[in-house]
């Protein structure tokens, strides 16, 4: 068993090794500010509260999308199906134009870019941006949401690999 000192802090490598063991649904977050459009793949999206409807996620200072996310008043959080793996990879690849293919996205009347054909999307207003280590925690109030396509299996990221959920992965009804 490891030592139980309360002062020792884990190394980044030890921490990453533990968190590789935690599966997560895959989201792509889009936003616009100061004429910049960004799209960022995130595995940190979670529901915080249903009344009021609040969502949180974190963004790393290392991501080129983060300055725009931090300036944006609203964001769109897309939940992805496994057939949207190309969109997940698009939002996770450095140095490319994530909006180059104009057939896969449009712009809401409220200004944010959004991707077509995702599992569900939630558009929300940023309530707070809290610095946390090399990242920021973003708290969002949901303004509207749409379940677009729930017929395909959802996309999950785990241990640096992609998975899909469905009857093949179900272990028990509740």
Smallest separation (angstroms) from a second copy to the CB of 35: 19
Measured in whole angstroms, the distance separating CA 37 from the mean position of its chain's CA atoms is 16
Q: Pick the closer one to a second copy by CB: 102 or 109.
A: 109
Smallest separation (angstroms) from a second copy to the CB of 10: 5
Smallest separation (angstroms) from a second copy to the CB of 118: 10
User: What DSSP letter does each residue of 53-105 carry, written as one string?
Assistant: TEEEEEEETTSTTHHHHHH-SEEEEEE-BGGGHHHHHHTT-TTS-TT--TTSE
Measured CA to CA, the distance from residue 91 to residue 94 in angstroms comes to 8
Q: Pick the closer one to a second copy by CB: 98 or 123.
A: 123
Q: Pick the closer one to a second copy by CB: 99 or 164.
A: 164
Query: Which helix (H) or strand (E) is 107 found in, with range?
Result: strand 105-107
Smallest separation (angstroms) from a second copy to the CB of 161: 6
Q: Pick the closer one to a second copy by CB: 6 or 103.
A: 6
Smallest separation (angstroms) from a second copy to the CB of 71: 16
Q: Contact, 103 vs 41, CB < 8 A?
A: no
- Find out whether the peptide bond into 52 is cis, omega within 30 degrees of 0: yes
Q: Pick the closer one to a second copy by CB: 99 or 165.
A: 165
């Amino acid at each position: 068993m490891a030592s139980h000192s309360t002062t020792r802090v884990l190394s980044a490598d030890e921490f990453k090794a533990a968190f590789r063991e935690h599966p997560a649904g895959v989201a792509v977050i889009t936003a616009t500010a100061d004429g910049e459009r960004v799209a960022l793949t995130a595995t940190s999206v979670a529901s915080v509260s249903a009344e009021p409807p609040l969502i949180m996620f974190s963004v790393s200072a290392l991501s080129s999308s983060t300055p725009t996310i931090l300036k944006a008043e609203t964001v769109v959080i897309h939940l992805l199906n496994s057939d949207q793996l190309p969109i997940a990879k698009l939002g996770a690849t450095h140095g490319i134009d994530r909006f180059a293919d104009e057939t896969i996205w449009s712009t809401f009347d409220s200004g944010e870019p959004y991707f077509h054909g995702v599992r569900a999307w939630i558009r929300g207003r940023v309530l707070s941006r809290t610095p946390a280590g090399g990242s920021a925690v973003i708290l969002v109030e949901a303004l509207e949401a749409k379940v677009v396509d729930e017929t395909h299996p959802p996309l999950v990221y785990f241990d640096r690999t992609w998975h899909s959920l469905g009857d093949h992965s179900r272990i028990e009804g509740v």
